[in-house]
């Protein structure tokens, strides 16, 4: 088997794993996608994907990660969430992975609410913080999805137009 074929297969797998990671909290989605695209560019000696598309891909990666972080923080702040609520949302997301789509939706919300309840012993505040944190995480995921789609368009355009 040709080594370049193995390399392109690895690049494709990184891009696919990154695409999954955009919605799965356990995987660094956008950096994995960027890594796969960078590997593909390197394998092609940067003939099809040069410095301009790679710069755009890097900017989109950073922007998506920043938007995700800011959305999560703003959502938590809007609901008055404590640090325990944020950790609860994180662990709820991890445990939710094992429960499929429903777990990915309910896990962060429930985890944030439990974390907030542990911190303040106020059920109303726990529900409010859980919902606000969940909305922030959802908005961050939407931003990452937008950046991931833009990255795929830049990458495909660079390949097709070269």
Q: How many domains does the chain have?
A: 2
The set of residues, in sequence order, having a beta carbon less than 8 Å from that of 111 and lying 6+ positions away, is 88, 89, 90, 91, 92, 93, 95, 96, 130
56-65, 95-104, 127-136 — most confident range: 56-65
Q: Are residues 39 and 91 in the same domain?
A: no
Q: Are residues 101 and 156 in the same domain?
A: yes
Tens digits of residue pLDDT in 138-155 = 888 899 999 999 999 999
The domain in which residue 15 lies consists of 1-47
Q: Are residues 26 and 72 in the same domain?
A: no
Q: Are residues 23 and 79 in the same domain?
A: no
- The pLDDT assigned to 149 comes to 97
Of 44 and 23, the structure prediction assigns the larger pLDDT to 44
Q: Are residues 32 and 75 in the same domain?
A: no
**pLDDT higher than 70, residue 1:** no
Whether 60 is in a domain gets the answer: no
Tens digits of residue pLDDT in 46-98 = 998 999 999 999 999 999 999 987 887 788 777 777 888 878 877 887 888 78
**pLDDT higher than 90, residue 36:** yes
Tell me how far CA of residue 104 lies from CA of 36, 76, 101, 132, 156, in angstroms.
Answer: 25, 18, 5, 16, 30
Contact indicator for 144, 68 with CB cutoff of 8 Å: yes
Task: Kindly report the average pLDDT of the chain as a whole number.
Answer: 87
Q: Are residues 38 and 72 in the same domain?
A: no
Whether 101 is in a domain gets the answer: yes
């Amino acid at each position: 088997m040709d080594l370049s074929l193995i390399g392109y297969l690895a690049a494709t797998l990184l891009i696919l794993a990154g695409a999954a990671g955009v919605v799965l909290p356990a995987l660094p989605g956008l950096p994995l996608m960027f890594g796969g695209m960078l590997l593909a560019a390197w394998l092609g000696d940067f003939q099809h994907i040069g410095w301009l598309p790679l710069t755009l891909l890097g900017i989109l990666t950073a922007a998506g990660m920043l938007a995700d972080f800011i959305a999560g923080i703003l959502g938590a702040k809007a609901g008055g969430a404590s640090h325990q609520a944020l950790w609860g949302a994180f662990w709820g997301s991890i445990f939710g992975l094992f429960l499929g789509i429903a777990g990915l939706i309910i896990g962060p919300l429930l985890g944030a609410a439990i974390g907030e309840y542990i911190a303040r012993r106020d059920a109303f505040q726990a529900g409010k913080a859980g919902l606000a944190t969940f909305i922030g995480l959802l908005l961050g995921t939407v931003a990452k999805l937008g950046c991931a789609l833009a990255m795929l368009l830049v990458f495909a355009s660079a390949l097709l137009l070269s």
